[in-house]
Amino acid sequence: MVHTLVDRGAVGEVAMMRELYLKGYRLMLLARVLDDKFASLYRMGKIHGGVFLGRGQEALSVAIGLALRNTDIFAPLIRDRAGRLAFGEPLLDSVRTYLGSVLGPMRARDGNVHYGRPREGLLPMISHLGAMISVVNGALLARRMKGVPESVGATCIGDGATSTGAFHEALNQAAIERLPLVLVIANNHYAYSTPNERQFACASLLDKAAGYGVRGEAIDGTDLRSCLEAAEQAVRRARDGGGPQLIVAELLRLCGHGEHDDASYVEARLKAAPCGRDCLKVAEDYLQDQKWASSSELAAWRMLAATQIEETVAKVQREPGPDPYREDWCALASKHLSEGHNT
């Protein structure tokens, strides 16, 4: 998906932004309604294990997904449902993964947020925070070695993950190799229950950029327009050889860490602050101010999203779970080297 805002005069600019904004909004909406669906399925006991949502972070996430081409590399994290859809991930993938369908990309061997399509540049996260960044580096270095025209790799992490050694090693590695990495930090002010004050002591996470010798941009993660512009610019700079780009977005997680968590620890002052705004509402107000969409259109789109999701869920609920007797129980690609010594 290419969206370079090439300058064809203000009019063209506005038209393109309108198109992009609308596309972004509708993907945000789809992600939000989907997350709501997962939340209710969880409450109904229809999902095994935890459920982790991106509520409040859709604007940022969708902007990254839209700024990338489907030939690029994207390593989403736990709150990137919107970015996944924007990158082109089929709705089916997340539904099948959460519902444990054997037809899902992970064949129900892995679940909830741990899924992707490595062959298509969509890297499936492991749980260990920070660990995916250097994997993106490797994919980018490989493409450079193979001589494929510079593709960009983007990945998202939270404020908490900036404290991992993996984050540090990987960002430094990307800077040394001057890789086209776009590293997006979603500062939602909490790592599970841990507030920023217990996670870092710098004035802003943006202050880290200089220490790695990379370019950084701070943005309002609740405003779709700023997110679209920042993401598009960062991706372009990376593609043009500008090396790693750091984006630090301020926002708030408008849900628990997982659906088991009531997030009672989130401070009222943050909820009241600009970062506490719901990016979806912000976008809806903006759409109406700009006369880009009417309230009835918004309502219709929401209906559409809901129907699309209900149909997908209904379809997946009829799909089989995995059959242990059909599993090869072999971790190796080289079957001949498997010990078969499995009991």
Partner 1 sequence: MSITYLDAIREAQARALAQDPKVFIYGQDVGAFGGAFKATRNLAQHFPGRVIDAPISEDAMLGLAVGAAIEGLRPIIEMQFADFSTVAFNQIVNQAATLHWRTRVPCPITIRLPSGGTSGSGPFHSQSLESVYAHYPGLVVMTPATVEDAYSMLLEAVAIDDPVIYCEHKYLYYHLKAEQLPTEAMPVGKARITRPGRDMTLVAYSAMVHEALAVAEELATEGTEIEVVDLRSVKPLDTDTVMASVARTGRLLCLGESWPWGGVTAEVIARVATEGFDLLDAPPQRLNAKDTPVPYHPNLWAAHRPTARSIAAAARNLLRL
Q: Which residues bind ligand TPP (CB under 6 A)?
A: 78-79, 127-129, 157-161, 164, 186, 188, 190-192, 253, 257
The DSSP result for 104-156, as a single string, is: STTTTTS-TT---BGGGTBPPPPSSTTTTHHHHHHHHHHHHHHT-----EEEE
CB of 335 to partner 1, least distance (A): 10
Stretch that binds a second copy, among 112-120, 204-212, 292-300, 314-322 (CB under 8 A): 204-212
Instruction: Indicate which single residue of 14, 142, 202, 330 sits in contact with a second copy (rule: CB under 8 A).
Output: 202
Report the alpha-carbon distance of residue 84 to residue 193 in Å, rounded: 26
Tell me how many residues contact partner 1 (CB under 8 A): 77
Instruction: Count the neighbouring beta carbons within 10 Å of the beta carbon of residue 124.
Output: 18
Contact between 110 and partner 1 by CB under 8 A: the answer reads: yes
Instruction: Map the footprint of a second copy across residues 208-237, applying CB under 8 A.
Output: 208-214
CB of 220 to ligand TPP, least distance (A): 17
Distances (CA, A) of 204 to 199, 201, 242: 12, 8, 22
Give the tokens for residue 288: 């109406």
The values of phi and psi at residue 246, to 5°, are: -105, 130
Report the alpha-carbon distance of residue 200 to residue 212 in Å, rounded: 17
- Kindly tell me which of 3 and 277 has the beta carbon lying closer to Mg ion: 277
Q: Which of 184, 267, 172 is nearest to 233 (CA)?
A: 184
Instruction: Map the footprint of partner 1 across residues 22-51, applying CB under 8 A.
Output: 47-50
Contact between 243 and a second copy by CB under 8 A: the answer reads: yes
Instruction: Indicate which single residue of 100, 158, 180, 216 sits in contact with Mg ion (rule: CB under 5 A).
Output: 158
Contact between 100 and partner 1 by CB under 8 A: the answer reads: yes
- Write the single-letter amino acid at 31: A
* The entry of Mg ion, ligand TPP, a second copy, none that residue 338 binds, CB within 5 to 8 Å by partner kind: none
* The entry of partner 1, a second copy, Mg ion, none that residue 188 binds, CB within 5 to 8 Å by partner kind: Mg ion
336 SS3 class: helix
Contact between 12 and a second copy by CB under 8 A: the answer reads: no
- Kindly tell me which of 42 and 52 has the beta carbon lying closer to Mg ion: 52
Print burial letters for 293-331: b (CB count within 10 Å at least 16), e (below 16).
beeeebeebbeebbeebeebbeebeebeebeeeeeeeee
- Kindly tell me which of 17 and 129 has the beta carbon lying closer to partner 1: 129
- Kindly tell me which of 40 and 193 has the beta carbon lying closer to ligand TPP: 193
Instruction: Map the footprint of partner 1 across residues 60-99, applying CB under 8 A.
Output: none
Instruction: Indicate which single residue of 94, 187, 199, 222 sits in contact with a second copy (rule: CB under 8 A).
Output: 199
Contact between 127 and a second copy by CB under 8 A: the answer reads: no
* Residue whose entry in the numeric block shows the structure tokens 């050694």: 165
Which sign, positive or negative, has the C-alpha torsion 121, 125, 126, 130? positive
CB of 261 to partner 1, least distance (A): 9
Contact between 129 and partner 1 by CB under 8 A: the answer reads: yes
* Residue whose entry in the numeric block shows the structure tokens 């009835």: 296
Distances (CA, A) of 71 to 16, 74, 134, 233: 22, 10, 19, 18
Contact between 144 and a second copy by CB under 8 A: the answer reads: no
CB of 179 to partner 1, least distance (A): 10
> Under the rule (CB under 8 A), what is the footprint of a second copy?
163-169, 172, 175-176, 178, 197-203, 207-214, 243
